[in-house]
Amino acid sequence: MREIEDFTDDRLKAWCIHCGAAIADIKSNRDHVPTKSLLTRTLRERGAAYDIGAGDETDYLPQVIVCRRCNSSFSPDENYLLCVLHAVIAGSLYPDPAKHPEAATILRSNRHVVRSLKSGPDGQLLSFENSKPLALFPDTDKIRRVIVKNARGHAYHEIGEPLLEAPDHVGFIPLEHLSREQCDAFETAGTGAELSVWPEVGSRMMIELLDEEAMIGGWITVEPGRYRYSIDWSGAVTVKTVMWEYLATETRWER
C-alpha cells in the first residue's frame, strides 16, 4: 500500500483507541492493522524495510498508535486466530511440512493452541482429526477480539474516527458458507453510499476519495489472497474484512 499522510485533527489521536487511555500519559507504540502475522513474511519484511526508510513507497503497512498494554494484550488471541486459519487452510492440526511448511511450523510451535482446538464443544477430543473436512470449534470470543481490534484500527486509520464503544454487531463466517445473495451483499462494500456522510476532514479516506485511485470496488487490498478490508461510514460505521480469502468478517458501530 502507499502511505497517505493523515491530517486528521490531532485531538482525535490523544487516546488509545482500545482502552481510551490518554496516549500522552502512557507508553505507546505502533500497532499494525491488520495484525501483521496474517500477512506473508515477504510482505512483512518489505513493510519493515519501509518503516526504516528503505524499500519501495508502496510497501507501507497500515499502523496506528495504541497504548503498549493494549498492543501486547492482543497477541495471544492473534496467535490463536493465526493457528485456526493455518489449520483450516491446511486441513489438519498436524499439517505435512512438505506441503504446508508455514502452517506446520506455526502449529508445531503452538502446541497449547492445537490441544485446545482438538477438543470439541462438548469437551471431547475430536476423534477424526486427520479426516476431512477438518472440523474445528474455535473459541469465538478470541477470534472476535482480534476482529474488533482490527476493525477499530481500520476505522481509525482510514476515517480518523476513534470508536471507543463496544461495537453493536460483530459477525464472521467462512466466505464459502455464504449464499450467493449474501455473498453479493457482502462483496458490495460501500464507499459511503451516496457519500452523504464525509469522513473526518483530512483523514486518509477523505484524501483517497478526492484521489483518482479512490477505493476501487470499496475494498482495500493489503495483500492479495491474505487480507482486504472495506469501510462504510454512511450512517453506521461498518468494517468488513476478508482474511486469507476464507474468513469474512463484519463489525458495525451504530451512531
Positions in the binding site for Zn ion (CB under 5 A) = 16, 18-19, 21, 67, 70
**CB closer to Zn ion out of 19 and 164:** 19
Least Å distance, CB 25 to Zn ion, is 11
Q: Which is nearer to Zn ion, 12 or 21 (CB)?
A: 21
Question: Beta partners for 169?
Answer: 252
Shortest Cβ distance from residue 19 to Zn ion (Å)? Answer: 3
Distance CA 251, CA 169 (A): 6
In what helix (H) or strand (E) does residue 88 lie, and over which residues does it extend? helix 75-90
Q: Name the residue nearer to Zn ion (CB basis): 30 or 99.
A: 30
- 92-100 — which CB contacts under 8 Å span 24+ positions? 92/129, 92/130, 92/134, 93/117, 93/118, 93/129, 93/134, 94/129, 94/130
What 3-state class would DSSP assign to 241? strand
Return the number of the residue (70 or 90) whose C-beta is nearest Zn ion.
Answer: 70
Nearer to Zn ion, 154 or 240 (CB): 154
| SS3 at position 173 | strand
3 state SS for 89-123: HHCCCCCCCCCCHHHHHHHHCCHHHHHHHHECCCC
25's CB contacts (< 8 A; 6+ apart) are: none
118 and 112 in contact (C-beta within 8 Å)?
A: no
Q: All 3 cell numbers of residue 16?
A: 488509545
Least distance to Zn ion, CB of residue 71, Å: 8
Backbone angles phi, psi at 150, to 5 degrees: -70, -40
The distance of closest approach from Cβ of residue 73 to Zn ion in the complex, given in angstroms and rounded to an integer, is 8
Q: Which is closer to Zn ion, CB of 17 or CB of 220?
A: 17
